[in-house]
Structure 1
């Protein structure tokens, strides 16, 4: 089976890095691009987290080679001396498409996105000069250019570029055959929106977009009505969802209505374009909050890797990867435990009952989305339930409903445009040629099954991790 090519658009906080590790350690997938967006933290800060991830993976390779342990799938697929298989890493949007509001999630992820790991575990952290390869050398001093070249030579596992990530997205989509590249969008959708606006026909060559964002029937995590990624750039969310429509102009936000002329409609409807609607899968909070990684599961799976005095399955302790993950995941579990104590109530009690255990946990928003993107068609059908072609739209102007996901809940069937126009349908909710077509993921494998699969894939098959 051919490898699935991925573009991962992320804002690397805690669950983004878990999602990256999951993708990098999946043998059937090849990560072509890691595209960075503002969100949990700023893009320059997130660069350090991505570079640290690759440095830790290289340390893990050396550790496992020294102790004659099985290498991770990432190590088997990527030689430290062959950059041809390494993903490109590119910086993208530092602000929303509309520039109307900016947000961050440092309150949970920490100022560095990983709970202060660069201070508490500096042995795993790259120098701050790691940002230089992502800067245009024309903007740097002579000394910085020299340092930049050295950092590029020393890079292991990734290829940095100073081109903006939305142009890298378009480059890869042009380079690869149509319908072969999956975009995994686990950040605000600013980079994808900029790519779609710049070249809609090329953007529509994507096989599918698998996105974490929004909330349908449960409250948001930013406001009562809005989820973080969609709230962070509502116009970008509306633009990207509009790419699923046969008539994108029908759902584009008013603030960029002029862009409607760049979207022509399906191939064959207009001789001047090759644009076709994009296949889009959405993972809202409704499903991602129901998939949790429990602290005690993680501790159990890491025990053999972290105890210097014991050997588990002939594995000596102090794995660099397990040690590094323990630092920033431990911080995330602690912060979530504080939130649980602060919030109390039935939500956490229901989570404990569903998982069969209590205590701290983190919600697997981005890793669950990634798992769907890397799953085979058979596993998707077996483990996930999808409501197809939902006309989901984003509120971009409301005072209190900014970022809200809107569905028509009236139960009225859409109509052919040749039929008489229904009264009071100025927004085209009942016109079959208008509106978005979003595949809404509504059920998944569950916390325990997914949590154990995630840990096994990221760390390797450990004794007791079943």
Structure 2
């Protein structure tokens, strides 16, 4: 049976990113096919993110071997059907000052596990997979690299930049067959879209964890981390949902002076063509919907305790316990009103994978909104701006109503203001159907209380 959804995961692991990937890899082949892991900076620097991805495969391999030994199904069936490509991407944002979230995730992205539990880290020979060793003219170097590659049999390393692999897959497959799941800063996506917007628009859907609509941010009072970490990239990707992307594109930074003035702006900051073949279908999972979905310390401990028997320990449970113990302690420190089993890790990134696993579930509820990302405010970098004034949207060129503008409900013709699509005093084009973004914002899920248990069951069996 063909997979229900073929996906590219763009990621910056990160504790909840790791859980998201484990959830994706635990899928059955008919549910999900992971084609590419596109690595970006974000929670930590890109090399630590890459090491965490290699660690995931390392422990899945050990876990499958352990399960075979005790007569349990191996699981992680989608990896048997398709080996994902792993490609390294952006090391810094397009134009913003680099900021990371190592204050929460730890210096290595997993609570310092690579220092505190060195026996749980894969040997660093994997680094040769992503440098020139495989293309070397020295036979001994190539042989050594091939031996390392064979030891990591669950993924295919790429020496191409992540955005190039993303575009290659989109070009080589039929349109509307690949979903991009972005659970980190959007730098890789924005770079791919700038280089070849029409190839990027061949994506079936772009599913993004990011933003905060009606709740406080988790990086600043108004901004969620992923949109804050590269606000320009987020604004540029969001703009592709607009009938007129130029209407919501971020302002260009000042042109370089002196010797650099020959090429005023790099290609990844160039404007999109005036005419594009379609609008991007973008589904956003902001903090509003992700925050209530948690994995509690109590639920995790109760589920994994039987897997940590001294006589037969699950490698995956041992590794996960090491970094989640540190994470639960950090959460407890940051939220002193919570303690013990009630401490919960918010499952921001795994929710995007859950949606891809169950896209037909009628309990997923989305609302179309004009969401724009602030890029130039002193205190509001990365904030999501939505028009809450309740003003009536104007008629566009076809004169028909559509969802949007008033919160996502179906807007009747009697509420539309007659005109040619622009209004005097409509700064920013918030009332025009020819302008503004069209973001599908997730506002309802199949159940706040069920997701943590579902994740544990799928990942640990």
TM-score norm. by structure 2 comes to: 0.87
Alpha-carbon displacement from aligned partner over 1:134-192 (angstroms, at most 9, x marks no partner): 12449989686664343223222000011000111101111111111111100000000
**What pairs up with 1:86-235 in 2 under 5 angstroms?**
86-98=83-95, 100-137=96-133, 147-235=144-232
Question: 2:315 matched to 1:320?
Answer: yes
Which residue is 1:2 aligned to?
2
Q: Are 1:265 and 1:277, in contact at CA under 8 Å, matched by a contact in 2?
A: no
Aligned-pair CA distance for 1:119 = 2.9
Q: 1:180 and 1:412 mapped to 2: Cα distance?
A: 38
Which residue is 1:401 aligned to?
380
User: Relative to 1, partners in 2 of residues 1:261 and 1:222: Cα closer, same or farther, differing over 3 Å?
Assistant: closer
Q: 2:128 and 2:103 mapped to 1: Cα distance?
A: 27
Aligned-pair CA distance for 1:374 = 2.0
Which residue is 2:61 aligned to?
58
Which residue is 2:283 aligned to?
281
Q: 1:93 and 1:202 mapped to 2: Cα distance?
A: 19
Q: Secondary structure at the match of 1:432?
A: coil
Structure 1: 4+ residue segments shifted above 6 A: 138-144
Alpha-carbon displacement from aligned partner over 1:51-90 (angstroms, at most 9, x marks no partner): 1111111111111111111221x1x3444xxxx7200000
Which residue is 1:386 aligned to?
366
Count of matched residue positions in the alignment of Structure 1 and Structure 2? 422
Alpha-carbon displacement from aligned partner over 1:10-46 (angstroms, at most 9, x marks no partner): 0011000000000011111010000000000111111
Which residue is 1:68 aligned to?
71
Q: 2:432 and 2:58 mapped to 1: Cα distance?
A: 52
Of Structure 1 and Structure 2, which has the larger fraction of its residues in helix?
Answer: 1
Unpaired segments ≥5 residues, structure 2 = 255-264, 398-418
Q: RMSD of the TM alignment (CA)?
A: 2.2
Q: Are 1:222 and 1:231, in contact at CA under 8 Å, matched by a contact in 2?
A: yes
User: Relative to 1, partners in 2 of residues 1:17 and 1:330: Cα closer, same or farther, differing over 3 Å?
Assistant: same
TM-score norm. by structure 1 comes to: 0.86
User: Relative to 1, partners in 2 of residues 1:408 and 1:46: Cα closer, same or farther, differing over 3 Å?
Assistant: same
Which residue is 2:295 aligned to?
293
Q: 1:107 and 1:140 mapped to 2: Cα distance?
A: 39
Q: Secondary structure at the match of 2:376?
A: coil
Q: 1:40 and 1:246 mapped to 2: Cα distance?
A: 33
Unpaired segments ≥5 residues, structure 1 = 268-275, 310-316, 461-466
Q: 2:132 and 2:227 mapped to 1: Cα distance?
A: 30
